[in-house]
Each structure stands twice: as C-alpha cells, then as structure tokens.
Amino acid sequence: MAKKNTVPAPLTPAVLHILLVLATGERHGYGIMKQVEADSQGTVKMGPGTLYGSMGRMTQAGLVRESAKRVDPEMDDERRIYYELTNAGRAALQGELQRYRGVVAVAEGRLAYGD
C-alpha cells in the first residue's frame, strides 16, 4: 500500500495568486481578477470559470470566506459579494512561500555549483 503523503500539496497558480491578492484585504470577484492581472504584469489572466471554481474549492478548504454584500464605491450601485482570507488561508500562503524559498535556495545552490 502506498504511504500517506504528509507534505501539503503545492497550491495551484490560480489559488496562489488569489491568496496573494486577498492578503492585502477583502475584494470582490472582478477586483480579484484585475489585481491578479496587475500583480502578474498581465501574464496571468483568469476568467470567471477559473476564479470562481478556485474560490469554491478554497471556501470548502476554509482558506477564504465570503463577507457581507456591499456596493463598490468606485464602480456602480450594484451590491457585490466580497471575499477575505481566513487564518488557515494566511497559513497556507505562508507555507507555500516557505516552500518557494526552499526551492529557490536549492536552485541557487545548484547554479552556484555549476559556475
């Protein structure tokens, strides 16, 4: 029988970007999409299918939660659902960044050895 993997699986790029955006405060769907595009300098473009599919899984995993509906003063008078990071979401983001640091350290070591 295969051994159970205790190491948390790496986050998908979409989930990582959403967590990064929500780390600075709560946002609605369109706001998340625009911020992801800006953060990645236009290289990551996600549509509503990817965004809300990821949000569904993240909500289920307890990484994000919905906050109250309200109007975005910069846009229009439509009421929107805002999303915010939970403590578990913040911990997952920190864990992922730690994993990235480890990968970068190994890569730098290998490159230095190559030189």
Partner 1 sequence: MATDVAVQRYRKWYAMLLRLYPRPFRERFGEGMAQTFHDLCRERRGARRGLFGFALWIFCETLVGIVQENTTHMPQLGKTVLRVALGALAVLMAPLAASQFVEDWHWGMRGFAAVYAVFFATGMVFALLTRKMGSWYYKAVVGVALVAGVSLGVVEHGPGGGLGTSGAPVVPQCAGGGGDWGKPGPAEGGWAGVDVVRDGGDARADRRDAAFGRAALPGAEYGHWAWCVHGVVHCLRFPVPARRFGSGVR
Which of 33, 36, 63, 85 forms a contact with partner 1 (CB under 8 A)?
33
Q: How far is the CB of 73 from partner 1 (least distance, A)?
A: 15
Q: Which is nearer to partner 1, 5 or 115 (CB)?
A: 5
Q: Give bridge partners of residue 28 from the DSSP assignment.
A: 82
Residue 18 · residue 54 · CB < 8 Å = yes
Per CB under 8 A, which of residues 84..113 are in contact with partner 1?
none
Which residue type is seen at 39? D
Which of 44, 50, 65, 90 forms a contact with partner 1 (CB under 8 A)?
50
Which of 21, 22, 55, 93 forms a contact with partner 1 (CB under 8 A)?
55
Phi, psi angles (nearest 5°) of residue 82: -100, 150
Q: Which is nearer to partner 1, 66 or 108 (CB)?
A: 66
- Kindly state the DSSP code that residue 9 receives in the 8-state scheme: P
Q: Which of 37, 34, 35 is nearest to 23 (CA)?
A: 35
